Amino acid sequence: MKNKTKVIFHIDLNAFYASCQLIEDPYLKGKAFIVGGSAVTKRGVVLTASYEARKYGIRSGMNVKDAFDLYPHVLVAPTTFDLYKKHSKRFFDYLKTWTPLMMKASIDEAYLDMTHHDNPVEVANIIQKTLYEDFQLPNSIGIAPTLFLAKMASDIKKPLGITILRKRDVVDKLFPLPIDDLYGLGRKTYPKLIEEGILTIGDFTLKKNHEKILNYMSEEHYQSFLLHLYGNSTNIIDNEYVKPKSISQETTLNYDIDIEEMIIEFMEPLIDDIVEKLIKHQLFAKTIGYKLKTNTFKLQTKSYTLLKPTQDLNEIKEAIKDLFIKHYDHTPIRLIGVYVSNLDEDHTPFNLFTYHLFHQHP
């Protein structure tokens, strides 16, 4: 008997933190606002932006100051994690009524194995409508035979989209998309690929671009992407998860530097990426650190444990900067890395499917 093709849903709540704020404060409806940081000091990081704010280029992970530079009249809603926990729990509890095979991907997204349903598209419409109308949580749903393709599908139509992505659809639906839409590709990596003329996901798969791509990632990492893209990666929904021990980012320089200010400047975008991952997966770091490597491969590492776990961008930046200034001996270096460890999770499981997101390097 032929095995039945798996039907995986990826359900992603659209602008989740903003949606929660709208439920509590209807005044914000139709207005450009962000969640996170302070309107007074203009410090902190944007957890999410309403779709009205996104029209001005404001996005999650951005410094609040930069958001105000893009749109000086943007409103700032307070960060209320108890509120997000409440609505996240309602979201997951509702999904469990459809299948026990559910896996949390973050506070606002989940994978479901819906293979046992005869009409998955009809079910997706019911789920989307219920979450939107009864729970006031707009969402997008991707339907595919693997977790990765379901994730890619849910990103195609936002907000309130339902997208079916079969293996045979990959070339037509995914290959024309811009390279920065490739899930799991680092924010430091895709600009370099674009500079090489690799503009679309389809370009990423071409043999003629293979050697160029290997300048920015390992062969193993590249082959992993191809497996995912062609629908040959996991289709298993697993409720178990492995908690990451650390999140790290690093960059290799084209030349040696020993100027303190320049090294700090290189560190800052790496820290931005780490904090974005902490926020996305509701993790809090207690230990921060950096590593430096010379062109002779001599490694220098330093770390510091904070009084309490944090995911605050400015706090983490200041702590790493202070640690670096205290210990740096002005040896010329070629590689710069930063990391956080001793992680404390709020309530959101971590799973092996997203493991590569926590350990990819530009």
Residues 6+ apart with CB under 8 A from 119: none
Q: Which residue has the tokens 């029209």?
A: 55
Task: Please state, in angstroms and as integers, the Cα–Cα distance from residue 88 to each residue in 43, 109, 126, 129, 221, following that order.
Answer: 26, 9, 19, 17, 32
By C-alpha distance, which of 95, 162, 105, 101 is closest to 135?
A: 95
DSSP state of 310: E
Phi-psi region at 247: left, alpha or beta (left = phi > 0; alpha = psi -120 to 50): beta
Active site residue 122: no
Instruction: Please give the Cα distance from 263 to 149 (Å, whole number).
Output: 38
Cα distance from N-terminal residue to C-terminal residue, the chain: 45
How would you label 139-166 residue by residue, b for 16+ Cβ within 10 Å and e otherwise? bbbbbbbbbbbbbbbbbbeeeebbbbbe
* 3-class state of residue 27 by DSSP: helix
How would you label 186-197 residue by residue, b for 16+ Cβ within 10 Å and e otherwise? bebbbebbeebe
Identified catalytic residue from 24, 52, 109, 211: 109
Sign of the CA dihedral 323, 325, 331, 332?
positive
229: Cα within 13 Å, side-chain hemisphere: 26
Instruction: Please give the Cα distance from 33 to 45 (Å, whole number).
Output: 13
Instruction: Please give the Cα distance from 244 to 264 (Å, whole number).
Output: 26
Identify whether the C-beta of residue 351 lies closer than 8 Å to the C-beta of residue 238.
Answer: yes
Catalytic residues: 109
